[in-house]
Amino acid sequence: MPTESRILGFNKTELFEALRDYCSQTGRLLPDDVNGVVLTQNSEVSIALNSPGDESAINFTENEIGAALVMFCIKKGIPIARRAIKSLEVVHETLSLRLRMGP
């Protein structure tokens, strides 16, 4: 059986919008004056949002980021197969959502 793969790339502006909407939906507080989005990928992808004058960053786990991106795609009408295997990858300043279907 053939496999199907798609890669959706999100820049920092789109990531921030997705995380802002995710926080709104889940009741998580997000400051209005976020000035930095830091993407890291070690064993898993994580994002830290920094605010001016605030020494502590707001951190998001890979599962939270994935949920935020799926919600963002639904909101924007970007099709995502429900049964696709989803994974995240950081490439330069872009976060990629990889979708794979098949065996």
Overall domain count for the chain: 1
Phi first, then psi, for residue 72 (nearest 5°) are -60, -45
Find the Cα–Cα–Cα–Cα dihedral 65, 48, 44, 61, rounded to 10°: -50
Number of C-beta neighbours around residue 60 at 10 A: 23
What is the rounded distance in angstroms from the CA atom of residue 21 to the CA atom of residue 11? 16
pLDDT above 90 (res 41): no
Strands annotated E in 1-103? 4-10, 36-41, 45-50, 58-60, 85-91, 94-101
DSSP assignment letter at 84: S
What is the rounded distance in angstroms from the CA atom of residue 12 to the CA atom of residue 38? 9
Question: What residue numbers bound the domain in which 15 lies?
Answer: 4-101
Mind listing the pLDDT tens digit for each residue in 83-95? 999 999 998 888 9
- Residue 15, pLDDT score: 92
Mind listing the pLDDT tens digit for each residue in 46-68? 888 876 666 677 889 999 999 99
- Residue 89, pLDDT score: 94
Mind listing the pLDDT tens digit for each residue in 4-39? 999 999 998 899 999 999 999 999 888 777 777 888
Mind listing the pLDDT tens digit for each residue in 64-85? 999 999 999 999 999 999 899 9
